[in-house]
Amino acid sequence: MPGRDLRRPVSNLILAAQGALWAAAFFCPLVLGGSPAWTLWPLCVLSGLAAVTAAIGGRRRGHSLALPAFTAALVFSVVLCLLQLVPWPRPFLDWLSPASAQLRDFALIPLGLPAARPISLDPPATWRELAKGISYLLLFFAVVQVVRSHPRGRRRLAAAIALSGLLVALVGYVHALADAHSLFGIHSYAVAPPFLTTFGNPNHLSCLLTLTSTVSLGLALSTKERQRAALWALSYVASGAAVFFSLSRGGICFFIAAQLLFAFLLFRRRQQGSAAPPANRPLPGRESWVVLGIFAVLSISAFVASERILAELQTADSVQKLRDSKMQMWPMLAAGAARFSRSGMGRGAFEAAFSRYQTSWPEVTLTHPENIVLQLWAELGLLGAALVGLTAAWAYLRLLRQNQASSLQLALLSGLAGMALHDFFDFGLELPGCAVAACMAIGLASGSDNMLRAEAGRRTPRWSASWAAGLLGLALIALVKGRSVLPQAEQELTARLSRLTAPNAVASAVLPAIDLHPADYLLYDLAGRAYSRTSPHNALAFANRALFLRPLDVESHRIAARALLRLGRRSQGLLEYRLAYETGQDQATTLNEAVPAARDLEEVKLVIPRAPVPVSEVAVRLGSSRTPLAEALLADALTDLAEQPDAPELWLLDARYRAERRDFAGALDAVARAEKSWPSSPRPVMARAGILSREGQRAEAISLLEAFFARHPDSLEFSWALAQKHIEAGGGKRARQVRAGASPLVHSPLWRSKWL
């Protein structure tokens, strides 16, 4: 009787742990994939509750402390995060993280922030990653304990994983049927995904569904009741089809890879089972039905979504387009990660820290490398990445080699392999929505029946629940310390600085934010912009710090240019405008600000690189009020740029100026020079027709345009010019004909209004 009295509360504890795990499995995918920072609070509470109740329940049932091989990878990731948050004395910091030491010396100490710094270049982000790491460890521990303490625990938790993905897929189907463009009519994504679900990124959606659909298939195969097996098969069809509707090329590829791996593992188990005694052999024919089911799902889903999939695949239908994809960034990302090989930049600090080493795509802010190897290398260092990655790979292979694995375990391992392979081209596992499902799946695969039988009779240590509670407390402390999120800090500082004018007030607003996020270049930009109104010296100092952290930042160059002009250092200021232009970002704004600041020809030449296109852009901005300066700039450029490939830009501009001076012969000669380099371009033809019209030869101009239009009827700009000439000549009927022929080419509202 005492045993029975003891067993009743134990069951309640295990059920409480299962309930917390179910809640975590559904919560993270449904709240935008767990991307909002606030979702970490419920995740930590649920994982801690699951771990504490599972530890107590496991001890009361007499089971040992469950520490499978994968525990080491999770523990290593937590320990490395802790080490990256320790404030290190200067000699240690110089060796462990030269980048952090340089930032401290160059940017922080001159601002009056001399305190010892941690390795992490964005400590709040690393604190949040520590909280996530602890949560994943507690979830994994709780799953293994539940599986060992309750015979049906594995299937129930596997059902939670499968149903969470099914629910996300059903959300997408409902929105598709309703032709909805916002999530639940409330939330709109910045870029609308092709399949509207709680995941704004289709790659992350397909990453989750790769696991959940494969788990559904494993449940269908391992269920003895036909009705339940059919329901799980329908779940597999719905979740697997949603991968295709997501239009994620990588997601579709690795979903198929996971299904093929599952079929292979089933076939291998069947071959191994053929040598076993008849009582231990797997049921015949099931693997064949699974393979047929896999190919049925793939075929039907591919057929239904074929039109949209083909349109998506056309974006990678050539070698050049593939080179322009994510893989083209890998050399740059690897070069940046190599700078942090000793101890990393800090887990979660990539968005803030990598901008210093970004040498291409300046218009893009990279939040993740979108490659799991480069992610771990950059954030944990080479040794840390190898420690975590190789330990996880070893634990996975150890599970893959175990004998007598069930169909459900093989499904879990296959889905996990698909997720991991997908993360070589994405970062789905960085989101709790995918990572929670992965941790629960690896926990289910780790708690094998063989281990249960081997460890029966041994008891869980009394301190296991205390350790789980302590880790939960540490995770909550980490969330408090990591409550400052980068975009939120930038928005708050922008709002505060907009109300301040005094230099001292600016400093008091800026320094706390920089102390929290020392590697965020935008905070220094905001400070420089605020100081540019009152203190050019301080504005220049903050602009230099921002450029130290992001050399391709256009706004920092413009802030520096304004400060230098106010300080009377005109040549340096104009050269800063040139550097801003050469970043390739927002060039029009830079020229609109720089050209009026230039006083003479020599200063104008400082603003831009020596090339035809920039010269023509500046000449256009000089406008009619400074025509002599524009003509002088053009004449100077033609002395040494006349033979360059883009030289027609200059010749066409020269033709325009000559026509305005009524030098029609010289203008036609300049157009002829442009036509030699651009024989198929409509622009020289339109320029020649314009000059002929100004000479009074309107019929010749129209004939010239008509002849070119007959060879190139698909040029919208040229059709517009031809219609205009016919209207000027009174040929409204022909103008309407040209308009009617070109109307199918009109897509933008601007051109549509012009036609009207």
Residues 195 and 242 sit within 8 Å (Cβ to Cβ): yes
**Percent of residues, the chain, with pLDDT higher than 90:** 52
Residues 583 and 557 sit within 8 Å (Cβ to Cβ): yes
198-215: average pLDDT: 95
**What confidence score (pLDDT) does residue 294 get?**
61
178 pLDDT more than 50? yes
163-167: average pLDDT: 96
Question: At residue 43, what is the residue type?
Answer: L
Of the two residues 355 and 293, the one the predictor is more confident about is: 355
Residues 63 and 145 sit within 8 Å (Cβ to Cβ): yes
21 pLDDT more than 50? yes
61 confidence band (pLDDT: 50, 70, 90):
low
**What confidence score (pLDDT) does residue 699 get?**
76
CATH of the domain at 751: 1.25.40.10
Average the pLDDT over each of 282-291, 521-530, 662-671 and give the range with the smallest value.
Answer: 282-291
CA 248 to chain centre: 14
Is 77 a member of any domain? Answer: yes
- What distances in angstroms separate CA 430 from CA 352, 420, 438, one per listed residue? 16, 11, 11
- What distances in angstroms separate CA 673 from CA 45, 104, 474, 486, one per listed residue? 74, 57, 73, 53
Is 674 a member of any domain? Answer: no
Is 538 a member of any domain? Answer: no
Q: Which of 481, 505, 539 is the last residue of a domain?
A: 481
Structural domain boundaries, residue 700 = 680-756
438 confidence band (pLDDT: 50, 70, 90):
very high
**What confidence score (pLDDT) does residue 11 get?**
64
Is 401 a member of any domain? Answer: yes
**What confidence score (pLDDT) does residue 462 get?**
63
Rounded CA separation 658/397 (Å): 76
SS (H, E, C) 521-546: HHHHHHHHHHHCCCCHHHHHHHHHHH
322 confidence band (pLDDT: 50, 70, 90):
very low
Nearest to 268 by CA among 397, 395, 396, 404: 404
Nearest to 126 by CA among 367, 345, 348: 348
**What confidence score (pLDDT) does residue 573 get?**
94
Is 146 a member of any domain? Answer: yes
Quick one: tokens of 417?
């392999």
Rounded CA separation 430/204 (Å): 10
Is 540 a member of any domain? Answer: no
- DSSP type of residue 189: -
* pLDDT tens, position by position, 275-289: 555 544 444 455 555
543 pLDDT more than 90? yes
- Residue 490, judged by CB atoms within 10 A of its CB (0-12, 13-18, 19+), counts as middle
Quick one: tokens of 693?
């019209």
Q: Which of 481, 500, 532 is the last residue of a domain?
A: 481
Tracing tokens 């400093």 back to the chain, one arrives at 507
345 pLDDT more than 90? yes
Nearest to 217 by CA among 205, 195, 202, 234: 234
**What confidence score (pLDDT) does residue 585 get?**
87
Q: Where are the alpha helices (DSSP H) in 678-746?
A: 682-694, 698-711, 716-728, 732-742
Q: Three-state DSSP class for 286?
A: helix
Average pLDDT across the chain, whole number = 84
Q: Which of 435, 462, 481 is the last residue of a domain?
A: 481
Is 171 a member of any domain? Answer: yes
Average the pLDDT over each of 428-432, 595-599, 686-690 and give the range with the smallest value.
Answer: 686-690
**What confidence score (pLDDT) does residue 409 get?**
92
* pLDDT tens, position by position, 716-752: 666 666 666 666 666 666 666 666 555 555 555 555 5
Is 594 a member of any domain? Answer: no
How many domains is the chain built from? 2
Rounded CA separation 426/313 (Å): 17
CA 210 to chain centre: 19
Rounded CA separation 26/3 (Å): 35
**What confidence score (pLDDT) does residue 749 get?**
56
Angle at 87 between CA 84 and CA 88, to 5 degrees: 90
* pLDDT tens, position by position, 424-437: 999 999 999 999 99
Q: What is the pTM (predicted TM-score) of this model?
A: 0.86
199-212 as b/e: b if 16+ CB within 10 A: bbbbbbbbbbbbbb
Backbone angles phi, psi at 394, to 5 degrees: -65, -45
* pLDDT tens, position by position, 223-235: 888 889 889 989 9
Element (H, E) at 421: helix 407-422
**What confidence score (pLDDT) does residue 532 get?**
86
Rounded CA separation 715/717 (Å): 6
